[in-house]
C-alpha cells in the first residue's frame, strides 16, 4: 500500500517571537514493513539553519532555528510511504510467537544476544513512565498470569484498556502522571499506550512507545473530510524469543497497513513531534492537521 501523509503544525503567537530553536521528530523512520519513498519538510518562516541526525533509538531528528521575528510558525511535512505490514501481522499468529509463556519469556530475557540486550532497556522506568503503583501492576497481573502465552496476555491487556478506559481529549497532558491516568481511567491514545507499557514493564518485560499516524476511513458512502486523520500512538511489546509485536489499545486492534510509524522510544518524551524554545512574550495557539491519502 502506498500512502501520502501530510502533517501541518501551526503555532500562532499573540506577540512577536524574536527567535526560536526547534526539534522535530516528523520524518518517518525505518521500520518493519515500512519504507520511506519521499520526504519533504517546509518551514515558514524559512529556517535560518537546519540539520538532521539520527538519535539513540534510530529516529530522525530535525533541528532548526528561526532568527527573524515572526508571529506564526508553520511546519509542514509530506511523506510518501510504502507500507506492507500484513506478513508481520500474520507471523504474530504463528506458534513461534504464541507459544512463548511468561516464564519462558523471562528466562529468554536473561540471554546476552545483542537484540535482547538492546530490548532490555525498555524494561526500565523512563521519564514519563515511572513510579508506577501497585494498581498498575495488579491491572497487568490480571492478564499476565503464570503459564500463559505472552502474546495472548498482551492482546487481552490491549482489549481491557480499550474497554476500561474512556477516550477523553483535553483531560490529560503529556506530563500527567501515569498513576493518575490509571486512577481516572481516561485519556487519549498516548495515555493508553503509556498505561500498557507501564503494565508490561511492571511484570518485567520490555515495551516501547510508537508514534505515528492512523488512516481513518469515512463511513460508507461519505466523502473523507480533510484533516480528519490524526497523529497517533500505540505500543509494542518485546516477546523474548520472538520479537517485537505491536498493539493499538485505542482502537483495539493489531496495527496493520493503516498504521504508519514515525518513531519509537521509551515513551512520548523520546519522540515528541515538535518541540522548541521560543524567545518572546505572549502565548501561542496550536493547530495540527494531518491528511493521509492512498496513492493508487
Partner 1 sequence: MTVATNSWFTRYFTDNTYDEMFSPDLSVKGNWKELLENFKRLGIDGLTQRQNDIDWLLEENGVTYNVYNDPNGLNRPWNLNVVPFLLHADEWFKIEKGLKQRAELLNLVLKDIYGERRLIKEGVIPHEVIYGHRGFLRQCDKIQYKLDRHLLLYAADLARGSDGRMWVVNDRSQAPSGMGYALENRSTTNRVFADIFADMSVRRLSEFFKEFNELLVEASPEKLENPNIVILTPGSHNETYFEHAYLASFLGYPLVQGNDLVVREGNLYMKSLKGLKRVHVVLRRVDDVFTDPLELREDSHLGVAGLLDVVRRQNVAIVNPIGSGILENPGLIPFMPAICKFFLDEPLMLPQIASWWCGQDKEKNYVLENLHNLVIKPIDRTNREHIHFGSLMTKTELERLKQEIQRKPYHFVAQERISFSTAPNLTKGNFEPRNMVARTFTIAGKNGYNVMPGGLVRVAPDRNTLRVSNQRGGTSKDFWIIDSEQAGESPNFNWNRRSAVSVSGLADLPSLTAENLYWAGRYVGRTLVNARFLRMVLKQTSSTEIIPQQECSVKLNILYKAVTQMTGTYPGFMEKREDGTYAMSNPLEEIYDVILNSNRVGSLAHTISMFSSSYYSIRNLWSSDMWRVFETIQKLWRNIENEKDLTVTKLIKALNQLITRLIAFMGLIEESIMVEQGLLLYFIGLQLEHSMLTITKCRALLVNKQLGQTEYEILEALLASHESLNIYRYSYRSFIRIEPVINLMLMDLKYPRSLAFLLVRLQKDIARLPHSQRSDTLMQYEKNVFEAFSKLRLASSEALAITTGSDSHVREDLDKLLEDLSDLLFQTSQSISNTYFNHTYKQSQLVDQNFSI
Residue 55 touches partner 1, criterion: CB under 8 A = yes
Question: What's phi and psi for 11, nearest 5 deg?
Answer: -115, 125
Task: Give the nearest distance from C-beta 138 to partner 1 in angstroms.
Answer: 14
Binding range to partner 1, per CB under 8 A, among 76-84, 96-104, 116-124, 238-246: 116-124
Question: Between residue 69 and residue 108, which ones bind partner 1 under the rule CB under 8 A?
Answer: none
Tell me the number of residues near partner 1 by CB under 8 A: 40
Return the residue of 74, 80, 120, 186 that touches partner 1, per CB under 8 A: 120
CA distances (Å), origin 27, targets 36, 50, 63, 124, 184 = 9, 14, 12, 27, 34
Kindly report the number of other CB atoms within 10 A of residue 107's CB atom: 13
| 186-187 and 166-167 strand pairing | parallel
187 vs 249, which CB is nearer to partner 1? 187
**13-42 footprint of partner 1 as x/- string (CB under 8 A):** -----x-xxxx-------------------
Q: Kindly tell me the sign of the dihedral angle through the C-alpha atoms of 131, 133, 136, 141.
A: positive
Is 11 a binding residue for partner 1 by CB under 8 A? The answer is yes
Establish if 281 lies at the interface with partner 1 (CB under 8 A).
yes
Shortest reach from residue 188's CB to partner 1, in Å: 15
Is 239 among the residues that bind partner 1 (CB under 8 A)?
no
Burial class (CB in 10 A: 0-12, 13-18, 19+), 281: exposed
Contact between 48 and partner 1 by CB under 8 A: the answer reads yes
Nearer Cβ to partner 1, position 83 or 201? Answer: 201
| Least separation in angstroms between CB 33 and partner 1 | 26
Minimum CB distance to partner 1 smaller for 63 or for 80: 63
Q: Does 53 bind partner 1 (CB under 8 A)?
A: yes
Binding mask 154-183 for partner 1 (x = CB under 8 A): --------------------xx--------
**Under the rule (CB under 8 A), what is the footprint of partner 1?**
11, 18, 20-23, 48-49, 51, 53, 55-57, 63, 65, 67, 112, 114, 117, 120-121, 124-125, 127-128, 174-175, 269-270, 272, 274-281, 284, 286
Amino acid at each position: 500500500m502506498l500512502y501520502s501523509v501530510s502533517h501541518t503544525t501551526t503555532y500562532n503567537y499573540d506577540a512577536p517571537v524574536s527567535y526560536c530553536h526547534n526539534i522535530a521528530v516528523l520524518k518517518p523512520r525505518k521500520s518493519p514493513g515500512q519504507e520511506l519513498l519521499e520526504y519533504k519538510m517546509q518551514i515558514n518562516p524559512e529556517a535560518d539553519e537546519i540539520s538532521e541526525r539520527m538519535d539513540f533509538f534510530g529516529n530522525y531528528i530535525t533541528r532548526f532555528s528561526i532568527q527573524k521575528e515572526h508571529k506564526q510558525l508553520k511546519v509542514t511535512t509530506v511523506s510518501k510511504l510504502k507500507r506492507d505490514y500484513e506478513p508481520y501481522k500474520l507471523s504474530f499468529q504463528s506458534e513461534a510467537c504464541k507459544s512463548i509463556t511468561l516464564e519462558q519469556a523471562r528466562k529468554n530475557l536473561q540471554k546476552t544476544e545483542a537484540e535482547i540486550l538492546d530490548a532490555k532497556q525498555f524494561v526500565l522506568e523512563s521519564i514519563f513512565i515511572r513510579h508506577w503503583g501497585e494498581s498498575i501492576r495488579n491491572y497487568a497481573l490480571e492478564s499476565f498470569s503464570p503459564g500463559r502465552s505472552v502474546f495472548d496476555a498482551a492482546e487481552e491487556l490491549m482489549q481491557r484498556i480499550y474497554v476500561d478506559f474512556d477516550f477523553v481529549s483535553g483531560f490529560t497532558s503529556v506530563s500527567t502522571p501515569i498513576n493518575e491516568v490509571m486512577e481516572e481511567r481516561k485519556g487519549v491514545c498516548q495515555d493508553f499506550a503509556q498505561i500498557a507499557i507501564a503494565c508490561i514493564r511492571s511484570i518485567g518485560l520490555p515495551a516501547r512507545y510508537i508514534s505515528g499516524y492512523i488512516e481513518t476511513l469515512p463511513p460508507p458512502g461519505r466523502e473523507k473530510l480533510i484533516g480528519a486523520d490524526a497523529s497517533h500512538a500505540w505500543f509494542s511489546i518485546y516477546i523474548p524469543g520472538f520479537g517485537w509485536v505491536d498493539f493499538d489499545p485505542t482502537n483495539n486492534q493489531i496495527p496493520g497497513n493503516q498504521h504508519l510509524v514515525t518513531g519509537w522510544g521509551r515513551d512520548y518524551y523520546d519522540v515528541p513531534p515538535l518541540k522548541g524554545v521560543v524567545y518572546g512574550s505572549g502565548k501561542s495557539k496550536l493547530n495540527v492537521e494531518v491528511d493521509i491519502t492512498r496513492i493508487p
